[in-house]
Chains A and B, each alone.
Chain A
Amino acid sequence: MPLDPSFIGRTYPPTEPYEVGREKIREFAVAVGDANPAYTDREAAKALGHPDVIAPPTFPFVITYEAAAQVVNDPELGLDYSRVVHGDQKFSYTRPVRAGDRLAVTVAIDAIKSLAGNDVLTVRGEVHDASGEHVVTAVMTLVARAADEAGE
């Protein structure tokens, strides 16, 4: 059964703040093999004009994906998560994420479409810091494959 388009525009309550730790950023940078000192060396980050070490450009997904679970697991929406693949992902930054940030995510459903029997769901996460300033917007498209199709 296709997803109900009346969910378009639905916004979920902001998540509890996620505190970005310096060691978490280091762990993520090591995991993607990225030795840029801006991720691990506070002085190097400061030399680039940042107040503390910053996180790699795709790091915010760690936070926004968890926040998007509100949508994915919303029983009213009824998404079959076992059939979901990640279709696309975009980040738009006001500033990079940095160590010490306390980030809350407000998730909204931007679009619901049906394409060739697949449900296509666009979820936007607006990430703000403790002072309420915008940090990054993460938009992802989830594709729930039609029930008769093999996995990808």
Chain B
Amino acid sequence: MAISFDEVEVGTELPAQSFPVTRATLVRYAGASGDFNPIHWNEKFALEVGLPDVIAHGMFTMAEAVRVVTDWVGDPGAVVEYGVRFTRPVPVPNDGVGAVIEVTGKVAALLEDRKVRVDLVATSGGQKVLGMSRAVVRLA
């Protein structure tokens, strides 16, 4: 079931996924991560500092994006490197719906030691929210 290095080539697409995020998601993530910055839960505060709304933690978005990789490869311990640039915040309205983070990924390079580089694209509301989102994983 594990993906084999021999099965993939440059351009192989990983199954795309959508991740919903609501205010409740952010409160839970704040507690689990210890990041209680009020821009992630306090609308009044967020607006005061010039944000359009409460925004998702960048690290939450980063955590969601890599799930496209870890779900594909099966073993999250296969991730050797993972990096992103936070290019645009994900506003999370208090409308009972929230936001959705859409993630696609494809194999961008085959590396030594049965490793591959996967490039991820994460968008929300049609806007790219992560830049240079790349993971290196070691395959079976």
Contacts and interface: CB of A to CB of B under 8 A. Distances in A.
Are A and B co-members of a single complex?
yes
Interface of A: 27-28, 30-34, 36, 38-39, 48-50, 54, 56-58, 61-62, 65-66, 85-93, 95-96, 139, 150-152
B74 interface: yes
CB-based closest 4 A-B pairs: A90-B83, A31-B32, A150-B50, A151-B49
Given A89-B84, A90-B82, A31 B29 contact: yes
A56 B64 CA distance: 10
Contacts of A88: 83-86, 132
Contact of B77 (A89, A90, A95): A95
Interface of B: 19, 25, 28-29, 31-35, 39, 49-51, 58-60, 62-64, 66-67, 70-71, 74-77, 79-86, 89, 132, 135
A93 B62 CA distance: 16
**Most chain-A Cβ atoms within 10 A of its Cβ — which of B28, B35, B75?**
B75
A74 to B, nearest CB: 19
Contacts of A150: 49-50
A151 B53 CA distance: 12
Nearest to A139: B83
Contacts of B83: 88-91, 139
Contacts of B76: 36, 38-39, 54, 56-57, 96
Contacts of B74: 48
Main secondary structure, interface of A, reads: mixed
**Most chain-B Cβ atoms within 10 A of its Cβ — which of A56, A65, A152?**
A152
B32 A91 contact: no
B58 A57 contact: no
A69 to B, nearest CB: 11
24 contacts: A31-B32, A32-B60, A33-B25, A36-B70, A38-B76, A48-B75, A49-B75, A54-B77, A56-B63, A56-B66, A58-B59, A58-B63, A61-B59, A65-B35, A66-B34, A86-B58, A87-B86, A89-B62, A90-B82, A91-B79, A91-B82, A93-B79, A96-B76, A152-B89
